[in-house]
Structure formats: C-alpha cells, structure tokens
Amino acid sequence: MSACNSLLIAGCGDVGTRLGLRLAEVGWRVHGLRRTVAQLPAAIAPVAGDLHADACPAAWPQGELDYLVYCAAASQHDEAGYRAAYVDGLRHVLAWLAQHGQRPRRILFASSSGVYGQQQGEWVDEDSPAEAQSYSARIMREAEQLALGSGLPASVVRLTGLYGPGREWLLSQVRGGYRASETPPLYGNRIHVDDAAGLFATLLQADAAGAPLADCYLGVDDEPAPLHEVVAWLRGQLGVSHWSDEQRVRRAGSKRCSNARARALGWAPQYPSYREGYAAILAGR
C-alpha cells in the first residue's frame, strides 16, 4: 500500500476527525471539510466549506483525490434538514469532484442502520430488507443510492447507535432513573465512535491494498443487547438505585445487527460490547 494516499472527509466531525488522525499517522494526506475548521487538528488539512451551498469551497484540494468519505450529520432534525445534509450535500460534493476532474478510487458514505424497519428482535445483515418508512430512513436510502449510482466505486457503511465521549445521552437518562421495558426485549445496536472510525480506516486501507469491497457494511459491535440489560448494568456502574415514574423509549425498532461482513475483512471492535465501551467512558478514557 502506498503511503501517500489522499483522502477528503466531507463532514469532518467526531468520527471523521478520529478517522483522519488514524490515517494521517500512517502517512495518508487527509483533508477535512467542515464549516468551522478551527477545531480540526493540525494533521488534517482544513477545507472550510458548507455542504448546503452550491459553490465549491475555495480551499478545495487540488490534484488527485484517492478517496472520499462522506460522513455529514444533519444539523436540523426534520425532513428538510435530512435532505440537505445527506442528499443535497452529497450531490454538491460529487459535483465539486467532477468540476475538478477528480475521480476517487472509492467513495464511502456513512449511512444508518435506521434504514432497517425490523421490530421483532430479528438478526439483520447487509442483505436484509431495508424498508423502514420514517422520513429519515427514506432519505438515507435515497442518499445511499446516489452514492452507489455516482459512477464511482462506492460502499455505504450503515452505522448503528454511536456513543462515546460527549455522546452520553443514555448515561444521563440512567442517572435520572430511566426505565426500559423488559417484555418484549427492545434490542439496541451500538458502536463506539473510535470503532466507527476504525471501521472506515479498515475499509479504506483494504481498498488501497487491492482487496475487493462490498457495496454495504454494517458498523456495529459484537453484542446487540436488550435495552433493559444495558440500563441495569449502567445502574450498577453508576450506583443508581431510584427509578423514574416514566418509561422513556425513543426508539420503535428492535433488531440485532451482525458485523460478520466487516469482521471478515479484518476489522474487530476495540470495544466489543457496551460494557467495555461505557467502562472506558466512565473511566474518562
């Protein structure tokens, strides 16, 4: 593998920055596109730009770009916000690549396991029907098809629930006495932000080494778990003994996502279950 591969991360936030640092450490030239570039570490070349705008950023990288990772996050959580972030933003980036005559060897698009509508605790993999009907799922599938139909080699990475430092919603809920229904069990899937970045790095390095990639990967740890089990474990770690009067469950689906395809490529999560991941957060790591 050449040590001088170049990568543009469009929407270079938490996962993108962690990815960029990993690859910069092994000699990749990494560009990070985001609105506010002051937060980017020195190892990532800043590209100040707005994915919602038609105009190409002035600092757009010149010359060849070997890889594009599109990992934007919607700043507005409604249908218009999702379309702007995932469909329109990707369309803009594809146009900017064409404008500069750049044809990356592969695009990786950060999608979501929310495209799956299974609700009975079924095991789900990349070949399972992805037919959830929420606006977010429909728009994400549209964006996936835009990436896969771009005329460039592309893979979509359907990430499950991201957690890690600064992503501590469940911890705050458990501290407040959060209740989760036990019957039927509500299965959840998660991946630590470091492991999500590691999965993208594995895919990029595999492609750069000539390994064939599939058009879809699931980003999930080894152990999908019932929400009530996760809550019980966190209550023990936090020493919480009181219960809230309310059950607050924001998720309607219940499924178990498999990471077998990603593991077959050589990726393995540093945090194989919620226990290792949350223990690291609670230890301040």
pLDDT at 230 (0 to 100): 96
Instruction: Report the C-alpha gap between 146 and 109 in whole angstroms.
Output: 10
Whole-model pTM? 0.96
- Asked if residues 172 and 209 have their Cβ atoms less than 8 Å apart, the reply is no
Give pLDDT tens digits along the chain (285 positions): 345 899 999 999 999 999 999 999 999 999 999 999 999 999 999 999 999 999 999 999 999 999 999 999 998 989 999 999 999 999 999 999 999 999 999 999 999 999 999 999 999 999 999 999 999 999 999 999 999 999 999 999 999 999 999 998 999 999 999 988 888 899 999 999 999 999 999 999 999 999 999 999 999 999 999 999 999 999 999 999 999 887 665 556 799 999 999 999 999 999 999 999 999 999 986
In 3-state terms, what secondary structure has residue 187? Answer: strand
At 259, phi and psi to the nearest 5? -105, 20
Where do the domains of the chain lie, and which CATH numbers do they carry? 6-166+190-220+256-270 (3.40.50.720)
Instruction: Report the C-alpha gap between 182 and 185 in whole angstroms.
Output: 5
Strands (E), 71-138: 106-112, 122-124
Strands (E), 121-273: 122-124, 154-159, 161-163, 187-188, 190-192, 216-219, 225-226, 255-257
Distance from the Cα of residue 49 to its chain's centroid: 20
